[in-house]
Structures are given as C-alpha cells and as structure tokens.
Structure 1
Amino acid sequence: MYFQASGGRMAAVEHQQKKKHKASLIARVGMPSATTFFKKVEPSQEEYDLAVQEGVFAYMLTWKLDKLKFTCARTKCEAIVSNVLVPWSTTLVTEDLDQVEFVSLSIDASNDGHVKLLPIVVRYCKIYDGNTSVETKQLDFVELKVETAEEIAAEVLVVIQKCNLENKVVAFSADNTNANFGGLNRLGRVNVHTKVKNALQWNGQNRPNMAKTALDMIPLDVEYLLTKIFGYFHIFTVRVERLKSFRKFVGQEYHNILGHSHVYCLSMLPALERVLKMYVPLKSFFLLKTNALLSCEQCLKIH
C-alpha cells in the first residue's frame, strides 16, 4: 500500500472507508486456512510405493522399478535428499559409531576447478547378526579456504568432536604430503597428523610409508608376478580355454585375468584380487605344466 507523503494519516483513514478495501477484508476473513487443503487420511499403499520410487530416484538410481508413473524434478529431489535421505543415513552412521570402540579416519583433499574440497571418511568394523564387515562412511565434505595444516587439522577435529570420536580414533590415513605428515623442514610439528595427535593426546606414530615397507617384506615381486601371469594368457586363446577347463573342474566361475601397468598405480589391486579369485584354477593349471613352468606355480603360493 502506497500513500503520498502529503496525505499522511488522513489518507489511510479514507482508504479504510472505501468499498473495495472493506470487500477485501470480508473476503480474507471468509477464506479457509491453507491447512484445510492438506490430506488428513492415511496414505494408500500405492502412495507409499510412489514415495519409495521418488526416494530411490532421488538416490540417483536410473532404472525403472515398475509401471507407476511419477514426476520428481529438481526441487522435489532436493527436498527428498535433504529432509529424508541425509537425516536417515546420518542416524545410521551415528548409531554404528556409538557401538564401535575403534575407528580410523582418512582424508584426501582434491580440487574441483578452483574449489578445494576435503572429504573426511571413517572406517570401522561392524558386527551385526553374527556377521562382521568393514564399513567405510563419509562423515563430512568441507570446502577449504586455504590448504594449510592448521585448517585441515581444525576441520578434522571438528568432525571428531561432533561424532564423539575423541577416544576412538586409533589411526589416521592421508596421502604422503608435507602438510599431512611433515617434511624435512617441519621436523614433525607443523602437519595435520601431529596437530590431531596432540589435540587428542594420542600415542599414534607417524608411519606414512608403512604399507610400502610392509610390501617390500613379501618374498616375491607382486608387480612382476601379475605382469607375467597376464602376459601368459593375454593373447593365447588355447591357454585361456585350457584354464577355463580347470575352472569347470574345480567348480569355480571364470574371470578374465586383468593386466597391470606401473603407469596406472591403482590397477595393481584389482589385478591382484582377480588372481586370488582364480587362485585354485591357476594353481591346478601350472601344477600340470612342465618343470619349466613350475616356478610360476611356486610364485602363486602367496602365504
């Protein structure tokens, strides 16, 4: 409502006496509340099914579950994720963390354009109905203003305190950079590991190369072994078909042997897992080869 400055209070009084203003007041009083348009009955099974589909759709599953049609655009998906899925998943993780005694934390900052992002991940062992599983959950996903040891450690400590993990953290994992574990000039003081360790009064030791050192203790060259096994079967159809026959003999599903290249460091684990899945057929295959190939079988005996 707008009145000229010269009209003042008299203009407002005159406006209240007009028929149009009185009619608007009467119409507003007689208008029902918005809550009267809300459904008050229990939803039907079909509506429950529809809600489930919308939730699954918001969870980024793209396949069609059944013939029910629905619309779930950006606004509804955002509401489902923010008000349903996030609180529900947070509750599940919180309940798990209340039950466990020990956890490990992992971080790995990465860039999305000019934005520096820091996911904070927790790993713990869960026992449910007699079954044991190793769970990996994301606790937070924060944006860093500057990538310094002080800021990263502060974000990690905020998550630890929020989830009540002060007395449960037994390990800290991150890439081997100076900001995370310190360098020659930092002398073990100005880095994330030391700051988190001191804040928690934790006796954990800095072992950024522990996995690499442990791998060097294995009495064989795993990378060389994977390369040789892959090369032996890669382009030889006869050898692959014979290996498949051993697979049938031991009653195991066949899986192609995966290759590994030192250029792609992340390919070693999948290649090793595939060899372990095919361990029994591979062992039988090489045991029946000539004495020249028995060395390959001996290499497969990974203790």
Structure 2
Amino acid sequence: MSKKYAQHFRAEWLKDPNYEKWLRRVEGDDTKCVCKYCHCTLSAKRSDIDRHRQTLKHKKAEKPFSTERQGTIPFEKVSSDTHVTEGNVSLFIAEHCSLRVVDHLSELCKVRFADSKGCKDFKLKRTKCSAIVCNVLAPHFSSDLKDDIGDQKFSLLIDESNDITVTKLLGIAIRFYSRSKKKIVVTFLDLVELPDCDSTGICDALKRSLKNNGLELQKLTAIGTDNASVMTGVNSGVYAKLKTEVPHLILIKCVCHSLQLAVSHATAQCLPRNLDFLIKETYNWFSHSAIRQARYKEIFSLINDGQAPLKLIHLSQTRWLSVESAIVRILQQWLELKTHFGMARHGEKCYTAEILYGMFCDKENYAFLVFLKHILGEVQRVNKKFEAEVQDPTKLLSDLLHLIDSMKSKVLIPGKTLKAGS
C-alpha cells in the first residue's frame, strides 16, 4: 500500500493565471486553501483544486468577476500641461499654506486663467492635491536629497515636539555640503513619531530614520541639540549613547538655549523677586478686563495728546529673554501705568492695585528695570543673530565674545577678572 502524506500549499500557485484571482491560502494551516468565489475550504492538493475549478458551482460563482462582463472605464485623457499645472499648484500649497486652501485656489485659477495653456482641464481638490504631494513630490525630493548627500559626511539637528494630537515627534534637520548648490545647506530630513521619549527611544527613532533615508550612522559627524538632560546627559543622554557607536561624534549645544538659561539663572539668584511680580501682574491686570483697558487708554490719551497705548507683553514661562520686550514696554509707559494704578487703588479699592502703585512709586524698581533693559537688550541682539538663517560663523563668535566682555564691564568690579570655568 502507498503511504499517504499531507500536501502543503505552494506560493507559486498564487502567481498561476488559473488560480491567482480566486485561490487563497489559509493562515496557520498550509494543508488547506480557500476559494474566494465559492467561500469554501479545499485541501491543498493540486488535483482537488483543479477538480473544484471545473465544477458548475465554481463556474457560476466566477462569472460576475469575469473581465469579459466588465467594460473598460472611459477615463478622460488629460494633457501633460495640465499635469504640470497641478504639480506646480500642489508644490505651492505644500510650501506655503494648508491643503484646505486648494479648493478655493483651484476654482480661482480656472476662472482667472481659463484660456491659459494647462488650465482647460485643471481639476485639483484636497484629496488629489494630498495624493500628489505624498506620492509624487515627496518621493521626488527625497530621492534628490539622497543623491545630493551621496556618501558624504553630515550633521544632524534634532529636537522633540508635539503635534496637535499631543503625539510626541522627533524633528530631524540635516546639514551637509550640497554638490548641486556648491555650498553647505541645512534642510528638513524627517519627522519621526516617538513611542518613548527617553534617550533610548530617541536614539532608536534616529537610527530608524537614517536607515529609511539610506544614510549611514558612521557618516554622522555632529549633532545639534538643546540643553535638555535627555539630549546632553553625561551617562545616559542621547549624545552619550550615540558616542559609544560613533566615537568621533561631536555635540553642538544650542547657543540660544544656553543664553536663555544663563539669563534665567543669573536673574533668579541676583535680582529681587518683586520685579517678576511687577512685570507679570501689570500684564494680568489688563488681560481679562476690557473696562480696565478702556480706562487706561483714556488716561494714556490725556497724558500723550490723544495717542493710544501699545499693548503690554506677556512674560513667557519657557523663554526668559521674552522679559526684555516686556520690560521695554513697561518703561515706555511707566508714568501712565503709575497714574492708572494710583487712581485704581481708590476707584476699585483693590489690594493688587495698591501694591502695584507702591512698586511703581519705588525708584529702585525703575533703576533695576533700566539696568535690565540694557543687559537683556545686548543678550537679545546676540540671540537673534544666532537665530537668523544666514550668518557668518566667524562674526557670530566675535559677537559672543564681545557680549561676554560687555557683561564683565557692567557687572564686575573694575580690576576683577573671571576665573576659568566660572
């Protein structure tokens, strides 16, 4: 007697013209297969499959899927000029505004440029524009970027952020020498979702992005980050972990963030706390009351011959250098604010107005703010130069050194010098 053995499903059957449209394998059981048309299970034997294909039941179930019964869909032919126009508009939308604008913009183009070449069959809405951006433009520019980088060394700028759904994302920009433009360029590389926001999760996301973009980790020469401990931690920061795999890696900390931290720590240790109260509560006094704003506008107009006051500036909790613009605005309106709070303490009988009036009458507070205005003004000037897109690195270094010398001349006693590391 012949020995029976179990036959298994073969992957090449799915490519056979006789089976590819209706035969499917059963996940987890290679001895079975399924007929898509008849919704029945068959044994994975070639003879049984062929026998089923010849049955009346299968032939009847197959007829609705036959290509002979389905007519071809008459798609309208669109000229290449129309494709170019749609691509140009999609590129404009991707660079300058949101996809929602394209519904109105496409109608405007059709009306305004109806007789122009390429606008006769022009039809572009949000769905089509999104498809062009994702499936045509993005792969094109991604491919161009990979070709431009080639096997060169490069640096990365990385930072964490949240989108509108509070999903953690890692933004990655790349800095390299562009052979096509003959200069060093900085451009967007990737935006990666972060399942975990610790140093391990960031490192894994960074490596995954480099792999997807065809870049080698060993070609990475430097990373630029903010001063967060998760990025710059000595023992388990992102830089420390990457350094174990890339020994030549250099860390470039954000100078703007360093200036922010330096100013924040210096003011927290050396300046009176009541100045912070003065700046915050002056803004809060007017922020939720239209009546107070109207009364102050009337006082300001009487003192300044009909002119309207500039709005006071809110003090940011995360960027301490924003206090510079808030201080400047308060100093510009010191007399008017003092007069307003002097009247408000009697009219509203408010304790906060009483305190603020006393602080505006104190000349020491005014002197401190004038001193801070010049100190923070110089720091802000250097900070904005580092934030600029086009700058000469050598000039930035000289500006930074000049700032340190200027601070020394204003803060230190004449004849004193800074010690190394202080």
The match for 1:299 is 372
Q: Which ranges in structure 1 are unaligned for 5 or more consecutive residues?
A: 15-20, 128-133, 183-187, 249-253
Shift of 1:119: 1.7
Q: Which whole-Å deviations, capped at 9, do the CAs of 1:187-223 have from their partners, x for residues lacking one?
A: x44443311122221254999x956752224697599
**Matched-pair contact (CA < 8 Å) for 2:314–2:326:** no
Q: Give the counterpart letter for 2:135 in structure 1.
A: N
Report the secondary structure of 1:265's partner residue: coil
Cα distance change of structure 1 residues 157 and 62 upon mapping to structure 2, 3 Å threshold: same
Find out whether 1:121 has 2:155 as its counterpart: no
| CA deviation after TM superposition for structure 1 residue 297, in Å | 2.6
Matched, 1:214 2:265: no
1:107, 1:174 within 8 Å by CA — same for their partners in 2?
no
Quote the residue 2:81 is aligned against. 43
Aligned to 1:60: 99
Change (3 A) 1:138 1:239: farther
CA contact (8 A) 2:154 2:174 kept: no
- Aligned match for 2:278, one of 228, 233, 252: 228
| 2:207 aligned counterpart, secondary structure | helix
User: Gapped runs of 5+ residues in structure 2?
Assistant: 1-36, 39-46, 57-62, 112-122, 179-184, 287-291, 339-360, 379-422
State the alpha-carbon separation in 2 of the partners of residues 214 and 158 from structure 1: 35
Return the alpha-carbon distance in structure 1 between the equivalents of residues 91 and 246 of structure 2. Answer: 43
Name the CA distance, whole Å, in 1 between partners of 2:172 and 2:224: 12
Q: Equivalent of 1:200, from 224, 246, 249?
A: 246
Q: For 1:161-176, list aligned pairs within 5 A.
A: 162=213, 163=215, 166-173=219-226, 175-176=228-229
Tell me the residue number matched to 1:18.
Answer: none
Q: Take 2:171 and 2:272, find their aligned partners in 1: how far apart are those partners?
A: 31
Letter paired with 2:170: P
Residue matched to 2:203: 153
Distance, in Å, in 1 between the alignment partners of 2:235 and 2:223 is 19
Distance in 2 between the 1:244 and 1:52 partners? 50
Report what 1:251 is aligned to.
none
Q: In 1, are the aligned partners of 2:169 and 2:193 still within 8 Å (CA)?
A: yes
Taking every aligned residue pair, what percent have the same amino acid on both sides?
14
Change (3 A) 1:88 1:106: same
CA change 1:227–1:138 in 2 (3 A) is: farther
- Secondary structure of the corresponding residue to residue 43 of structure 1: helix
C-alpha distance in 1 between matches for 2:274 and 2:324: 15
Would you say the 8 A contact 1:121–1:139 is kept in 2? yes
Quick one: structure 1 residues 155 and 53, their matched pair in 2 at CA, closer, same or farther if it must change by over 3 Å?
Answer: closer
Cα distance, 1:97–1:298 mapped onto 2, change above 3 Å: farther
Report the Cα distance in structure 1 between the residues aligned to 2:303 and 2:177, rounded to whole angstroms. 38
Change in CA separation of 1:198 and 1:230 when aligned onto 2, cut-off 3 Å: same
Q: Residues 43 and 255 (structure 1 numbering): CA distance in 2 closer, same or farther, change over 3 Å?
A: farther
User: 3-state DSSP class of the match of 2:229?
Assistant: coil
Q: Give distance in 1, aligned partners of 2:242 and 2:206.
A: 8
Tell me which of 306, 317, 327 is aligned to 1:265.
317
Work out whether residues 170 and 202 of structure 2, in 8 Å CA contact, stay in contact via their aligned partners in 1: no
Aligned to 2:160: 107
Q: Is the 8 A contact 1:54 1:72 kept in 2?
A: no
Q: What is the deviation of 1:44?
A: 5.0
1: CA distance between counterparts of 2:253 and 2:91?
Answer: 47
> What is the aligned residue count?
259
- TM-score, length of structure 2 as denominator length: 0.41
Equivalent residues of 1:105, 1:172 under 8 A apart: yes
Partner of 2:192 in structure 1?
141
Query: How high is the TM-score relative to the length of structure 1?
Result: 0.52
What code does the residue aligned with 1:43 have? D
Paired letter, 2:224: A
| Equivalence for 1:237 | 297
Q: Is the 8 A contact 1:197 1:204 kept in 2?
A: no
Supply the distance in 2 between the matched residues of 1:297 and 1:96 (Cα, whole angstroms): 51
Is the Cα contact below 8 Å between 2:90 and 2:129 reproduced in 1?
A: no
**Distance in 2 of aligned mates of 1:221 and 1:240:** 30
AA aligned to 1:198 is T
Check 1:96–1:117 CA distance in 2 against 1; reply closer, same or farther (3 A cut).
farther
SS of residue paired to 2:193: strand
Distance 1:13 1:61 in 2: 54
Instruction: Please tell me the residue identity of whatever aligns with 2:245.
Output: A
Task: Give, as a single letter, the amino acid of the residue that structure 1 aligns with 2:369.
Answer: C
Pair 198,287 (structure 1): closer, same or farther in 2 beyond 3 Å: farther
Aligned counterpart, 2:418: none
3-state SS of paired residue (2:99): coil
